[in-house]
């Protein structure tokens, strides 16, 4: 039976990340897991904080009836109250439970935002490099990505964003700390972006939405604190998850937070709650909602990821790789001396699995996910050196 033309088209260009992950499985079977160095998938290598296990055991032992039944589609109210209080402690605006929707990860949060806001052919500006799944999420809701370049250090280019705004522009979507570059957008970046959006919102006579995807917000290095959009721009929504900072990627739990003063907030929240239901999520997992509500101030030991960054970055730079040093997340995005797909193929011949930058809108680069054991990094270094030496 034939599948839809649209899905067939997407399958032909589906995520390089998953392609390389599947390649890794095959190579591990062929060569043995210790001889394959898989940097393809951003799957956290740290276990959740010990407090997570304590909280989950306590919740499982709680015999109060109804703990695992349906709840309001926005999520458990007491959980949303805790998230609101946590966000209020971070920003100069005050949140309530009515500004929060618990979601099936950040991906679920993005999809309910997109369904709520976008009509066919609406445009969403995305700075590149970017997480390529955004393209597929937007296609789910018949909106169109408009990709703009960032600066050479991967910082935002407000002029490029401004020049990309048209009468069809509905939103700008950013991701900081960024996947795949590890760039943390500065206060200057975000202030200038807010100024651009205020200008064009006034010119168009309607708000342009700013969506910030922030699952790596707590994974930052060198004393950096990522600035937040809520203190800079009123027409804003943050989506996030606990996949990275608590290593709960498989539990699919996150939330969307709407600026308390966003225009038409009641209608927006009603639309997002409706979208959460009809997209099939219904509500986020009940047990995980309760669990993360006790862990909002927790995170994995980020110093371990910083050690991995430094280990890999310092060696690759010494070999001659050109890399903008990442400030957060757990990715390196080096330049390639030849076509990135070809270069990644050369690395694959060394059993080093990475992802071409073209898959993230960043050709002539490749992504390394260093959320792996130190031994994987150490054993891969000779191969990284050999491949680059062929072109220098």
Report pLDDT digits (tens) over 322-337. 999 999 999 999 999 9
For residue range 280-327, list pLDDT tens digits in order.
Answer: 999 999 999 999 999 999 999 999 999 999 999 999 999 999 999 999
Model confidence band, residue 204 (pLDDT cutoffs 50, 70, 90):
very high
Instruction: Calculate mean pLDDT across residues 238-259.
Output: 98
DSSP code for 97: G
Model confidence band, residue 388 (pLDDT cutoffs 50, 70, 90):
very high
pLDDT at 22: 74
Taking phi over 0 as left and psi of -120 to 50 as alpha, with beta for the rest, 371 belongs to beta
Model confidence band, residue 14 (pLDDT cutoffs 50, 70, 90):
low
Burial 227-258 (b: 16+ CB within 10 A, else e): bbbbbbbbbbbbbbbbbbbbbbbebbbbbbbb
Structure-block tokens of residue 279:
């997209």
Residue range(s) of every CATH 3.90.1150.10 domain in the chain = 5-48+300-389
pLDDT at residue 369 tops 80: yes
Model confidence band, residue 13 (pLDDT cutoffs 50, 70, 90):
low
Portion of the chain with pLDDT greater than 70, in percent: 97
pLDDT at 35: 85
Beta strand 37-38 with 169-175: parallel, antiparallel or unpaired? unpaired
| Alpha-carbon distances of 10 from 4, 126, 363, rounded to whole Å | 10, 19, 19
Model confidence band, residue 15 (pLDDT cutoffs 50, 70, 90):
low
Task: Give the CA count within 13 Å in the CB-facing half-sphere of 70.
Answer: 5
pLDDT at residue 72 tops 80: yes
Alpha-carbon torsion angle 254, 208, 150, 244, nearest 10: 0
Task: Give the CA count within 13 Å in the CB-facing half-sphere of 94.
Answer: 0
pTM: 0.95
Contact 47, 249 (CB under 8 A): no
pLDDT at residue 12 tops 70: no
pLDDT at 252: 97
Pick the closest to residue 193 from 161, 153, 150, 236 (CA basis).
Answer: 161
Instruction: Calculate mean pLDDT across residues 87-112.
Output: 98
What kind of architecture, by CATH, is found in domain 68-293?
3-Layer(aba) Sandwich (3.40)
Is 5-48+300-389 in CATH node 3.90.1150.10? yes
Average pLDDT, the chain: 95
Residue range(s) of every CATH 3.40.640.10 domain in the chain = 68-293
């Amino acid at each position: 039976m034939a599948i839809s033309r649209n899905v067939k088209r997407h399958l032909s260009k589906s995520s390089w990340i998953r392609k390389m992950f599947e390649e890794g499985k095959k190579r591990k079977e062929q060569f043995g897991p210790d001889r394959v160095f898989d940097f393809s998938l951003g799957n956290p290598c740290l276990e959740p904080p010990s407090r997570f296990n304590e909280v989950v055991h306590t919740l499982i032992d709680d015999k109060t009836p109804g703990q695992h039944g349906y709840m309001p589609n926005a999520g458990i109210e007491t959980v949303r109250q805790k998230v609101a209080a946590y966000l209020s402690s971070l920003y100069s605006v005050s949140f309530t439970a009515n500004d929060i929707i618990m979601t099936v990860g950040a991906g679920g949060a993005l999809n309910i935002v997109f369904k709520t806001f976008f009509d066919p052919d609406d445009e969403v500006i995305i700075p590149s490099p970017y997480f390529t799944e955004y393209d597929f999420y937007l296609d789910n809701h018949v909106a169109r990505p408009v990709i703009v370049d960032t600066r050479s250090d991967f910082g935002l280019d407000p002029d490029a964003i401004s020049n990309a705004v048209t009468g069809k522009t509905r939103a700008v979507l950013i991701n900081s700390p960024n996947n795949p570059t590890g760039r943390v957008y500065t206060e200057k970046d975000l202030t200038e972006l807010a100024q651009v959006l205020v200008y064009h919102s006034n010119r168009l006579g309607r708000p342009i939405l700013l969506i910030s995807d922030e699952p790596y917000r707590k994974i930052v290095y060198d004393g950096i604190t990522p600035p937040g959009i809520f203190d800079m721009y009123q027409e804003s929504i943050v989506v996030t998850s606990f996949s990275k900072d608590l290593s709960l990627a498989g539990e699919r739990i996150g939330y969307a937070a709407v600026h308390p003063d966003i225009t038409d907030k009641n209608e927006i929240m009603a639309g997002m709650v409706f979208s959460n239901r009809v997209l099939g999520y219904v509500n986020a997992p009940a047990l995980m909602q309760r669990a993360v509500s006790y862990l909002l101030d927790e995170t994995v030991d980020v110093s371990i990821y910083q050690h991995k960054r430094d280990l890999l970055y310092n060696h690759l730079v010494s070999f001659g790789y050109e890399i903008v040093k990442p400030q957060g997340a757990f990715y390196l995005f080096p330049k390639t001396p030849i076509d990135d797909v070809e270069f990644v193929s050369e690395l694959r011949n060394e059993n080093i699995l990475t992802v071409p930058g073209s898959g993230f809108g960043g050709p002539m680069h490749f992504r390394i996910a260093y959320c792996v054991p130190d031994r994987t990094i150490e054993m891969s270094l000779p191969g990284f050196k050999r491949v680059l030496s062929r072109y220098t």
